[in-house]
Homo-oligomer: A and B are copies of this chain.
Amino acid sequence: MSLLVVGSIAYDSIKTPHGEVYEVLGGSAVYFSLAARQFGPVRLVGVVGEDFRPRDVDFLKQRDVDTAGLETVAGGKTFRWSGEYSPDMNSRETLSVELNVFEDFQPKIPDSFRDSPFVFLANGAPGTQIAVLDQIERPKFVMADTMDLWIQTQRADLIELLRRIDGLLLNDSEAHLLTDRPNVIAAGKAILEMGPKRVVIKKGEHGAILFTAEEIIPLPAYPVESVRDPTGAGDSFAGALMGHLTKRGAVDRGVFKEALAHGTIMASTTVEDFGVDRIGNLTAVEIEDRFSRFRGFLAL
């Protein structure tokens, strides 16, 4: 089965208590792809400027990422983001955002990608996410991410999107904002009512909660002591989750729980180094080792 992701590709400048990096490869679709490729090839759709470094394209290609959907805007500049994390790493301040070519991004799905059964709509304007869906033939499982900006400014589009997707991934503060419910369990149940059959609320270092019509399943995060840079943790969580589902080719209760576990394990490695340094060089043995430990932790 094939997996498609549509999202941002960026150059990030990041400062944390453990150091700083300047204009390193990042963006939601990049972190997603580097996580998902551990489970099989990934089809990437995104936009960059003329300044995008050829070695970054090579980096992705060498890692099973199909860049046929990578659009380069002539004369354009790649999306840039810079941010600084608080001492406890639980919050961050955006220092600057230059959307550049991402601002007018109208994703064009290559013909060869239109049959993708598994689709992830990374964080973006819900209207754009819908426009992507319109280009996919008959997806089997579509999951989307969103953020506070769209909940506040493009709510109608988001509500329409929710009726067309199978799963929504969002963090706890976004879930509260979307539903106006302070209790996270109540918030997740309210989002189920809006359309998606599966809702995953991410809680960062506190894990994630899966909501379905039948049950509410909490999972802790895989414990990590050495958090150097939290950037991309949520996107690599999504990448491992969707990658595992695509590899298994089916979405049932057991497979989805395994997929969530792979999500938290992937996030736990991503944060151990700056940018994509860790996730870009992660081995299957490391993943298998953490997965078996995690299963052991949770066996009662």
A64 at the B interface (CB under 8 A)? no
- Across the interface, do A300 and B257 meet the contact criterion of CB distance under 8 Å? yes
- Across the interface, do A183 and B298 meet the contact criterion of CB distance under 8 Å? no
Min distance, Cβ A257 to any Cβ of chain B, angstroms? 6
Chain B residues with Cβ below 8 Å from A241 are none
Chain B residues with Cβ below 8 Å from A284 are none
Contact A223 to B216, CB < 8 A, known contacts A205-B184, A206-B203, A300-B258: yes
- Across the interface, do B220 and A207 meet the contact criterion of CB distance under 8 Å? yes
Of residues 173 through 227 on chain A, the ones whose CB sits less than 8 Å from some CB of chain B are 182-186, 189, 203, 205-207, 209, 215-225, 227
A169 at the B interface (CB under 8 A)? no
- Give the residue name and chain of the B residue nearest to A17 (CB): B182
Contact A189 to B222, CB < 8 A, known contacts A89-B182, A182-B88, A258-B300: no
Specify which of A189, A209, A219 lies most central, judged by the most chain B CB atoms within 10 Å of its CB.
Answer: A219
- Across the interface, do B300 and A227 meet the contact criterion of CB distance under 8 Å? no
**Size band of the interface chain A makes with B:** 35 or more
A75 at the B interface (CB under 8 A)? no
A279 at the B interface (CB under 8 A)? no
- Flag A283-300 by CB within 8 Å of B: 1 or 0 each: 000000000011101111
Chain B residues with Cβ below 8 Å from A299 are 298-300
The list of the 6 closest CB pairs from A to B, nearest first, reads A218-B220, A206-B206, A88-B182, A298-B298, A185-B225, A295-B300
Some 26 contacts from A to B, beta carbons below 8 A apart, are: A88-B182, A88-B183, A89-B182, A89-B183, A183-B225, A183-B227, A185-B224, A185-B225, A186-B225, A206-B207, A207-B207, A207-B218, A207-B220, A209-B220, A209-B223, A215-B293, A215-B297, A216-B223, A218-B221, A218-B223, A219-B220, A219-B298, A294-B300, A298-B300, A299-B299, A299-B300
